[in-house]
Amino acid sequence: MSRVVLIDPGDGLETVRNALREHPEVTVDLADSLPNGAGVVGVLVPPDVPVGEDALAALPDLRIVAATATGFDHLDLAAISAAGAWATHCPGYCTEEVAEHAIAFALDLLRGVTLLDRSVRAGVWDLQEAAPRRVSGAVLGIIGLGRIGREVARRARALEMRVLGFDPVVSPGETDGIELHALETVLARADVVTLHALLMPGQPPLIGAAELAAMRPGAYLINCARAGLVDAAALGAALNSGRLGGCALDVLANEPPNPDEPELCWARTLINPHAAWYSPAAATEPYRRAGEAVADVLHGREPADALARPARAPV
């Protein structure tokens, strides 16, 4: 009997099994790490489980690697293709949730909601601890104008914010009212910068010391995308020096963080536990779509949202 293995701490097992109900010859198991050995035809993996040459060499019957997420920087697409397998992901399953979370962070930072709450609880009754700014007319800089970036822009315009954007692969005719500029210009003009760019394997941080220095004094940075997009040491220095007004992070290099992680001690910093993607609906969607991708491959069909196709016929 063939196996499909879900590597995930979530509760998507029954959703995947339901997607594969027409394949009684396949068992669907839950595991903490990638399996090995013959008989495994599909693996479903979250963003923190890399799939590369070594893992693939231990799975001779593998036909598909399905990421239960939008991001796919944890997948070695060339190696998966060379191993004769498909690779898929789940783009757009939490677009609205992440866009809303980024806007919530922007509003919180501009109005000082959380930072003022902290100060009151510490015994300080002074709005100047995090002086609120007007949201209407504030400039939001969006780095990355894919699905999520555009949804952030749509919500920001509804709040009467001015929206600037940078994306090297987007032409002016595709901006939906977003003012396109070079990265340096967006950083220099924005009151709030929010990151919604992809992170490719081996890519250096998009926002390093030079980019942080280019931002307006007192500006805010939001990262609901990938921790590797930002040079953490440089960000900490910019915050602790007072150069930046604050930041909001939904992603960290180490999740969950150790008690001594520097981010936990940075000044004027909001941190969420990688929650931007979540809603009850979004929690189920990637398992359903990944399960359906596996079912398509087992039926001999091309799966939706394919990132890589087999370079050779499966054995």
Q: What pLDDT is recorded for position 177? A: 79
Same-domain check for residues 120 and 250: yes
3-state secondary structure of 152: helix
Residues 43 and 116 in one domain: no
Is pLDDT above 70 for 312?
A: no
What band does 75 get if pLDDT is binned at 50, 70 and 90? very high
Is residue 247 located within the same domain as residue 126?
A: yes
Q: Does 58 share its domain with 185?
A: no
pLDDT digits (tens, 9 = 90+) for 141-171: 999 999 999 999 999 999 999 999 999 898 7
Give me the pLDDT at residue 36, please: 92
Q: Give yes or no: residues 117 and 223 share one domain.
A: yes
Looking at the chain, the whole-number percentage of residues with pLDDT higher than 70 is 97
C-alpha distances (whole Å) from 189 to each of 51, 192, 216, 239 are 40, 9, 7, 18
- Whether the pLDDT of residue 175 is over 90: the answer is no
Residue 86 sits in the same domain as residue 149: no
Report yes or no on 202 lying in a domain: yes
* Domain count within the chain: 2
Greater confidence (170 vs 117) lies with 117
Closest CA to 168 of 154, 147, 182, 151: 182
Decide if 249 contacts 271 (C-beta within 8 A).
yes
Q: How many CA atoms lie within 13 A of 214 on its CB side?
A: 16
Give me the pLDDT at residue 314, please: 46
Say if residue 80 is in the same domain as residue 141.
no
User: How confident is the model at residue 117, as a pLDDT?
Assistant: 98
Can you give the pLDDT at residue 166?
96
pLDDT band at residue 8 using 50, 70 and 90 as cut-offs: confident
Q: Decide if 314 is inside a domain.
A: no
Query: Do 121 and 87 share a structural domain?
Result: no
> Residue 22: CA atoms inside 13 Å, Cβ hemisphere, count?
9
The answer to whether position 234 is within a domain reads yes
Cβ(169)–Cβ(197) below 8 Å: no
Residue position matching structure tokens 């977003």: 178
Residues 223 and 106 in one domain: yes
* Boundaries of domain holding 44: 2-93+280-308
Average pLDDT over residues 248-253: 97
Give residue 191's pLDDT. Answer: 98
What is the pLDDT at residue 315?
Answer: 42
Residues 151 and 224 both lie in one domain:
yes
Identified catalytic residue from 74, 274, 288, 309: 274
> What percent of the chain has a predicted confidence (pLDDT) above 90?
89
Average pLDDT value for the chain: 94
Model confidence at 35, in pLDDT bands (50, 70, 90)? very high
Whole-number pLDDT of residue 174: 64
Question: For the segment 48-59, what is each residue's pLDDT rounded down to a tens digit?
Answer: 899 999 999 999
Residue 84 lies in a domain: yes
Residue 226 a catalytic site member: yes
Q: Could you tell me the pLDDT band of residue 273, with boundaries at 50, 70 and 90?
A: very high
pLDDT at 173 over 70: no
Tokens coding 231: 């040079």
Specify whether 234 is located in the same domain as 294: no
Active-site entry in 174, 255, 299, 312: 255
Say if strands 40-45 and 2-7 run parallel, antiparallel, or are unpaired: parallel
Supply the CATH number for residue 77's domain: 3.40.50.720
By C-alpha distance, which of 52, 102, 54, 46 is closest to 71? 46
Q: What is the DSSP pairing of strand 306-308 with strand 86-88?
A: antiparallel
- Residue 45 structure tokens: 């993996």
> Which one from 89, 196, 226, 289 is the annotated catalytic residue?
226
179 catalytic residue (yes or no): no
Split at pLDDT 50, 70, 90, the class of 295 is very high
Report whether pLDDT(172) > 90.
Answer: no
User: Does residue 99 share a domain with residue 29?
Assistant: no
Q: What is the mean pLDDT of residues 200-219?
A: 93
Tell me whether residue 162 is one of the annotated catalytic residues. no
Cα 308 from Cα 56, distance rounded (Å): 14
Residue 113 CB coordination number (10 Å): 15
